[in-house]
Chains A and B, each alone.
Chain A
Amino acid sequence: MSANATDCKMVNIYLYTRYERFWHWLQSALIMILLVTGFETNGIYTLLGFKAAAEIHNFVGITWLIAFAFFVFWVFTTGEWRQYIPTTKKMLLVVRYYVYGIFRGEPHPVPKRREAKHNPLQRLVYLSLAAFLLPIQMLSGLLYWSYNSWGEWGLGWLSLPVVAGVHLAGGFAILSFLIVHIYMITTGHSLGAHTRAMICGWEEVEERESVEEWEIKPRGRSTPGEA
């Protein structure tokens, strides 16, 4: 169904490369498992039993850490990291859109482009997630996991309740993000448009005059192949 009230012409663009899509779904699966087993390990509920929950959590956590290292490598070698550079331009427009315009059926002020996948709000959120929240979660998790070696590593001054507290707070933050994130993917032209893009790589966006200069990721370096 189309909720598009404007009469813009729609075009299909290739937004997400195969690796990006793979990474996205792998990471989301890992994070979901980590959330479910993590909250159980904390004692909030009983589902798999403490032993299974703790063991799965540790295993998946280490897996995520390794996979994330690959992602960081990819982001920097492809230059995609520029998509995450924060900007304040049009930020207020985007905010205005989500609190007002969206109810009136206005078009998104910053539609997606191959060279500008993220709107200013997304840039800020994803940057704080990838550069701040997730690393904190990984670091506190790694420390928690290596608790029995703190003495040998000269980390004896660390406190397990504090490390565990940071890790728990991070878990709640990620869960909150996830709720909003899952909701936001229903705000495309159709409820499933964003999801489709993350599965096939292609998304239907409004055709408009090209994106503004500041939005574009400078080319030249290797850009993932167009289909």
Chain B
Amino acid sequence: MSIQSNEARCTSCHIGYGWKDKNFDFKDASKVDCLVCHEQTGTYKKFPAGAGNPVKEPTLFPGDGITYLPPEWNKVAQSVGRPTRDNCGVCHFYGGGGDMVKHGDLDSSMHKPNKALDVHMAVDGRNFDCTRCHTTNSHQVAGRIYSTPAATARTTLAQDDLTPRITCESCHTATPHKPGVKANDHTDKVSCQSCHIPEFARALPTKMRWDWSTAGKMKDGKPYKEKGPLGTPVYDTQKGNFVWEKNVRPAYFWYNGTIDAVSLKDPIDPTKPVALNWPVGSPQDPNARIAPFKIHTGKQPYDTVHKTMLVPHLFGPPDSDAYWRKYDWQLALASGMQKAGLPYSGQFDFVETSYVYPTTHMVAPKEKSVSCNECHSRENGRMAGIKGVYLPGRDGNRVIEVLGWAAVLGSLAGVLLHALGRAVSRRRKEG
């Protein structure tokens, strides 16, 4: 799903304070809302579909049944301070339209994590704020940007006080383990996160699958919602079916820090599941490491003639063609593609999709690190799909093995026959 035509909701988080129409200038810094990050009262809330504006008078949002109160401007304005986890979490814990939806490693459990959940941000530990790692250089939040390649230098903060990208190595160096610990030999190929985040979504479940194709079912002529065993919605007429999981073992890929994505103009192959984005990197790339990911799968509409992904118009006024008004995919897709200024043939179907999220938070206590045999094993190991490296315990040489066993069993058979011969000949002589 995509931003176009649904901006009034997305811009609650994505830069776009006061979005009104297509001509909004997303680059105009005066339209960045400072207060989300910098107010400390915890009362500054935006109306979910208010184009990044808080309400002017108490307003009920039917989506969550909460009444949004207008901010007490003097209190909010006076509380301006350095951003805390709560400030950043306003957007980052609720990405994708709710808590625990997008990233499996950033959700509301990270407001007050304990040490078992995150060794850095633990309230009973160092209590890092996000900005402790995501240091800024004139407000350019250090992090990762999908479109620019990996950090090219493995520098420490001491060497380079303001790294444009934060990495674990910025604080820990590339050999953080005691001398002789084998993990130090791994850091040139295996990212820290691969070993130190054994599972994500360890406190709250995260959404793993979103099937849009089943949306639109009614109960007694009305849209409805259903909750599953984890207490999370498994069906919503507006959105289709969801699958949630807790304590999820990540998927691993070579990754140099760049993630490529399919655009609405790129042709897709609907005969296979479509990867909407994918980590870039290969074993030959010296900047690439094996890194953990959450894979979110789904079923989404695509154009069966043009073979492109489609974007529906989801949210709009009552008389619009928006899906959440009329529950008609055909109208919503036509309207969405028209607003995006992209062609639509009028023929659509749903296709399997996947989407990756890097996993980098929820670093577990060291005793919980992934153990050697979870990677170095032949069956169901974490490194099962990773090519370009030789892992003892996972890889071997089947030819040598077959020949080797043949030699061993041959020797065994030989000596047994020989022993039998000796026993028989002796008995004959004695008997």
Q: Which residues of A contact B (CB under 8 A)?
A: 3, 5, 41-44, 46, 49-51, 54-55, 98, 102-105, 147-148, 160-161, 164-165, 168-169, 171-173, 175-177, 179-180, 183, 186-187
B372: Cβ under 8 A from any A Cβ: yes
* CB contact between A176 and one of B372, B390, B396, B407 (< 8 Å): that residue: B407
Given the interface pairs A42-B396, A168-B396, A172-B403, the reply to whether A54 lies near B410 with Cβ below 8 Å is no
Do A161 and B390 touch (CB < 8 A)?
A: yes
Chain A residues with Cβ under 8 A from B182's Cβ?
A: 54-55
B82: Cβ under 8 A from any A Cβ: no
Other than the known A51-B371, A102-B422, what 12 A-B pairs have Cβ atoms closer than 8 Å? A5-B429, A103-B421, A105-B426, A161-B390, A164-B392, A168-B397, A169-B403, A171-B404, A176-B407, A179-B408, A180-B414, A187-B422
Do A169 and B372 touch (CB < 8 A)?
A: no
Chain A residues with Cβ under 8 A from B396's Cβ?
A: 42-44, 164, 168
CB B194 to nearest CB in A, in angstroms, measures 16
Q: Of the 9-residue stretches B25-33, B103-111, B373-381, which lies at the interface with chain A?
A: B373-381
B185: Cβ under 8 A from any A Cβ: yes
CB B191 to nearest CB in A, in angstroms, measures 17
Chain B residue nearest to A160 (CB atoms) is B390
Q: How far is the CA of A102 from the CA of B403 in the complex (A)?
A: 30
Q: Using a CB-CB cutoff of 8 Å, which residues 361-414 of chain B contact chain A?
A: 371-373, 376-378, 390, 392-397, 400-401, 403-405, 407-408, 410-412, 414
Best-surrounded residue of A5, A42, A165, A175 (most CB of chain B within 10 A): A42
Chain A residue nearest to B415 (CB atoms) is A183
CB A171 to nearest CB in B, in angstroms, measures 7
B419: Cβ under 8 A from any A Cβ: yes
B418: Cβ under 8 A from any A Cβ: yes
Best-surrounded residue of B411, B425, B429 (most CB of chain A within 10 A): B411
Do A172 and B407 touch (CB < 8 A)?
A: yes
Q: Using a CB-CB cutoff of 8 Å, which residues 180-226 of chain B contact chain A?
A: 182, 185, 188
CB B250 to nearest CB in A, in angstroms, measures 20
Q: How far is the CA of A183 from the CA of B393 in the complex (A)?
A: 31
Q: How far is the CA of A183 from the CA of B418 in the complex (A)?
A: 9
Do A49 and B408 touch (CB < 8 A)?
A: no
Interface residues as binary, B416-430 with A (CB distance below 8 Å gives 1, 0 otherwise): 001101100110010
CB A98 to nearest CB in B, in angstroms, measures 8
Do A43 and B411 touch (CB < 8 A)?
A: no
Q: How far is the CA of A98 from the CA of B419 in the complex (A)?
A: 11
Q: Is the interface of B mostly helix, strand, loop or mixed?
A: helix
* CB contact between A148 and one of B185, B390, B410, B414 (< 8 Å): that residue: B185
Chain A residues with Cβ under 8 A from B373's Cβ?
A: 46, 49-51
Do B394 and A164 touch (CB < 8 A)?
A: no
Do A54 and B372 touch (CB < 8 A)?
A: yes
Given the interface pairs A161-B395, A179-B415, the reply to whether A43 lies near B407 with Cβ below 8 Å is no
Chain B residue nearest to A159 (CB atoms) is B390
Best-surrounded residue of B188, B373, B403 (most CB of chain A within 10 A): B373
Chain A residue nearest to B184 (CB atoms) is A148
Tell me the count of chain B residues lying within 8 A, CB to CB, of chain A.
35
Chain A residue nearest to B395 (CB atoms) is A161
Do A50 and B395 touch (CB < 8 A)?
A: no
Given the interface pairs A43-B378, A50-B376, the reply to whether A183 lies near B408 with Cβ below 8 Å is no
Chain A residue nearest to B399 (CB atoms) is A165
Chain B residue nearest to A169 (CB atoms) is B400
Do A172 and B405 touch (CB < 8 A)?
A: yes
Chain A residues with Cβ under 8 A from B393's Cβ?
A: 41-43, 50, 54
CB A96 to nearest CB in B, in angstroms, measures 14
* CB contact between A164 and one of B390, B403, B422 (< 8 Å): that residue: B390
Can you spell out 7 A-B residue pairs with CB atoms less than 8 angstroms apart? Answer: A42-B396, A43-B376, A43-B392, A103-B425, A161-B395, A164-B390, A180-B411
Do B411 and A179 touch (CB < 8 A)?
A: yes
Q: How far is the CA of A214 from the CA of B4 in the complex (A)?
A: 95
Chain B residues with Cβ under 8 A from A3's Cβ?
A: 426
Chain A residue nearest to B421 (CB atoms) is A103
Do B397 and A176 touch (CB < 8 A)?
A: no
Q: How far is the CA of A57 from the CA of B182 in the complex (A)?
A: 13
Interface residues as binary, B147-187 with A (CB distance below 8 Å gives 1, 0 otherwise): 00000000000000000000000000000000000100100
Q: How far is the CA of A82 from the CA of B55 in the complex (A)?
A: 98
Q: How far is the CA of A181 from the CA of B410 in the complex (A)?
A: 14
CB A137 to nearest CB in B, in angstroms, measures 13
Chain B residues with Cβ under 8 A from A46's Cβ?
A: 373, 377
Chain A residue nearest to B375 (CB atoms) is A50
* CB contact between A172 and one of B395, B404, B414, B429 (< 8 Å): that residue: B404
Do B397 and A164 touch (CB < 8 A)?
A: yes
